[in-house]
Every structure is written in C-alpha cells, then in structure tokens.
Amino acid sequence: MTQDPEAKVALLDLTYPQLQNLVLSLGEPPYRADQLYRWLYGELATRFEDMHNLPQPMRQRLEQTASVRGLTPLEEKRSSSGLTRKFLFGLPDGETIESVLMLYDKRRTVCLSTQVGCPLGCPFCATGQSGFVRDLTPGEIVEQVLYLAGQLKEGEQRISNVVFMGMGEPLINYDATWQAVQTLTDSRGYNLGARRITISTVGIVPGIERLAGEGLQVGLAVSLHAPNDDLRQSLVPIARRYPLSDLLDACRSYIEHTGRRMTFEYALVEDLNDSLKLARQLAHLLAGLLCHVNLIPLNPTADSAWHPSPPDRVRAFHGELRRLAINSTVRLRRGVDIEAGCGQLRSRRTRAAGAARPPSRPSGEGHDVRAHPGKPIAFRNNRT
C-alpha cells in the first residue's frame, strides 16, 4: 500500500517521543509537546482551535499537517436499562468497529476492539464469523476510550476500567495494543492504572509470554471454553497451535511475573462443554492456579447453531466448580438486547449492506487457521 504524502499525521498514533519530535519539527519548544499531550489525553480535545494555550501559528500548522481524531460515530445502541451503550464507529478507510461502554458496579468500563474482524475464526463468535480486514492502529484503539470518556457526564469524564474484549485478538496485534496500553497509562496524559486494564486473549502463547515480561500489572483473561485439547480445538481453532499444556505454562509464568490473579473465560454451550464431567476436568486443570473462572452462557449469533446452556445446567456446572474449590462467577449477558456480543452490531450492519459492499475478506483467506491448519499465523508484530 503506498502512503499518501499529503496524508495528515494522526496524533493519537504517536508515542510521546514521536509527538515531541513533531513539535520540535514545527520549531516549537519541547514544553509545547506536554501541553499538546495534555489536550489530547487529559482534556479530551477534539479540535486544534480549542487548544487555547498553544500559539495560533502552531495550531494552524498542526491543522494543516495533523489530525486529532479519526473515528466517526455511526450508530449507538443503548440497553433497556441504559447501563450498556454500544457504539459503531467508521474508520478513515471506511471500515467499521465496535466499542461498548458499561456503567455498572460503580465502574465506567469500556470494551475495546483491536482489529477490524478477526482472523482466528472461532465458530461461536460474530467477529470470527465475519472474517478479517486489518489491524487497528494504536491511535484507533486509544481513541475508542477518549470518545467514550467524552460521552460521560461533564466533570466525570473518567473511564475507570478498560477491557480488550471487543473485536479482534489483541495479542496478534501486539505492538499497537501495547502502545495503546502505554498511552492510556502515561501519567502525563490519560493516567489510567495498569491494574484497571484487562487484556483478553484466545490463548496466543508467545503473546502471553511477551506480556509477562513487560513489567506492567495489566490483567490477563484467557478464553478457555474447554478443559481438554480435543474439545477446545473445535471451539477455538488456534488451539491446534497452542495446546493446553503450553497455554497453562504461559499463564503460570504470567501470574509469577505480575503477582496477579488471572481470569479464564468459559462460554457455556448447551450439550457441548457444559457437563459435570467437563466441570470436573476444568477443576482438575486449574487446581492450584491463582485464577478466577467467568462462566458466560453463550451469546447466540446469527450464523451459529449452538445455544446457550439453560440456567439449570449453568447452575450445576458452577456448583461443581465451587465444590472443587475453583473460584467462579456466572456472568450475566448484559446488553443482550443491543447485540452486545463481540462483533454482532457490525455483522448485522454488514449483512444488511448485502452485496453493496463486500463485508470483509472471507475467513478462508488471509491467515485463518481453519483453512491452513499447519501454517503459522503471521505474528508480524511479535518479537518471538
């Protein structure tokens, strides 16, 4: 792809040192970078003209060469309780992503996307079903937080928690995800505590290992969904590459490095992974690990024949884990009335657009593991 030389620099894509260089290249003193950074992340400014402590000529130069924001809000859905709000954003290249704002448990949590679609093709997931288009940039990830913070009441515009549980797999867009984490936690800007961030992964072992070495106490959630390799591979195709033994080793290493309890996500699918026998297998697998299990009845998607486990099966599974001393919680499917499951709003909209615009690459192309079981996924951004 050739880069348009006229294209403006997206300021949110820059690290702090890169922003400093840009300011210096405009002939401004270094402290102007602090001021600009503060406008972007502290004041949630969306226009250069509002940055009144920057000199007029600097604002004009920035106007010509740089952009503050890139997301266009296209659609918002509120749950009937009003506590869950889901947003569909347009990106500068016409693609779309989803983010969710959740206002319960005294928290203001945002759920972020890291990719347009996802190449990993988990068959129960609306994002996986929609195929993969591209990675998000660091700025596109961070901007979701800034936009949703701007939706909160005047004077209370602080997001308290960030979860990377929207569209895409954060650990195969590692560099952009990590830069976004660093930007959000930077005390000169948004200043969010690392402990208030949770990265959810389908179980990308090299990514978990890399994360363990970063030295920030970011929370880790692993989408497990099954306690043995055979069953897991049918729910999570990438599990063929990363067997449970390797995954659990990486999780242990993460816990040792961060000292943090981690989470396992387990979507309960009727008659597939919800038997008492599997609950016992799960308890055996996780015995002795500093962890918590979130049990989530499957959120049915349009393209999947699977159903959520009925409440009595959920209760029994949960009870068996408790009996075997595994910490677990049944999570409500909040915001189901607004298609709050990952990727559902975008999928519906893309389906409605029909042949007018191809939705995205079908998941058999690109680096979908279902189509290429033996072929390595391109971990472009990983050091490993």
Which lies closer to ligand SAH via its Cβ, residue 142 or residue 293? 293
Contacted entry of ligand SF4, ligand SAH, none for residue 296, CB cut-off 5 to 8 Å set by kind: ligand SAH
Task: Report the alpha-carbon distance of residue 377 to residue 384 in Å, rounded.
Answer: 12
Contacted entry of ligand SF4, ligand SAH, none for residue 68, CB cut-off 5 to 8 Å set by kind: none
- Decide if 79 contacts 338 (C-beta within 8 A): yes
Amino acid at site 260: R
For the segment 339-368, give every residue that binds ligand SF4 (CB under 6 A): 342
For the segment 163-182, give every residue that binds ligand SF4 (CB under 6 A): 168-169
Query: Three-state DSSP class for 67?
Result: strand
Q: Which residue is nearest to ligand SF4 (CB)?
A: 128
Amino acid at site 111: C
Per-residue DSSP letter, 97:
E
Which lies closer to ligand SAH via its Cβ, residue 223 or residue 360? 223
Binding mask 120-159 for ligand SAH (x = CB under 6 A): ----xx----------------------------------
Amino acid at site 59: R
Instruction: Say how far residue 56 (Cα) sits from the centre of its chain.
Output: 37
Shortest Cβ distance from residue 116 to ligand SAH (Å)?
Answer: 13
- Is 342 a catalytic site residue? yes
Instruction: Say how far residue 89 (Cα) sits from the centre of its chain.
Output: 15
State the helix-helix crossing angle for 174-185 and 138-150, rounded to 10 degrees: 40
Task: Report the alpha-carbon distance of residue 239 to residue 110 in Å, rounded.
Answer: 27
Binding mask 68-107 for ligand SAH (x = CB under 6 A): ----------------------------------------
Q: Exactly one of 10, 102, 122, 205 binds ligand SF4 (CB under 6 A); which one?
A: 122
- Decide if 268 contacts 295 (C-beta within 8 A): yes
Give how many residues touch ligand SF4 by CB under 6 A: 12
- Decide if 140 contacts 115 (C-beta within 8 A): no
Dihedral of the CA atoms 153, 156, 162, 166 (nearest 10)?
10
Per-residue DSSP letter, 237:
G
Binding mask 194-223 for ligand SF4 (x = CB under 6 A): --------x--------------------x
Q: Which two tokens stand for residue 141?
A: 């990830």
Task: Report the alpha-carbon distance of residue 134 to residue 115 in Å, rounded.
Answer: 6
Q: Which of 98, 169, 209, 320 is catalytic?
A: 98
Task: Report the alpha-carbon distance of residue 384 to residue 174 in Å, rounded.
Answer: 11
Which lies closer to ligand SAH via its Cβ, residue 10 or residue 286? 286
For the segment 257-276, give every residue that binds ligand SAH (CB under 6 A): 265, 267
Which lies closer to ligand SAH via its Cβ, residue 308 or residue 359? 308
For the segment 278-337, give every residue that binds ligand SAH (CB under 6 A): 296, 298-299, 301
- Is 251 a catalytic site residue? no
As beta bridge partners, residue 134 has 116
* Active site positions, annotated: 98, 342
Report the interface residues with ligand SF4, using CB under 6 A: 118, 120-122, 125, 127-128, 168-169, 202, 223, 342
Report the interface residues with ligand SAH, using CB under 6 A: 124-125, 165, 169, 200-202, 223, 265, 267, 296, 298-299, 301, 341-342
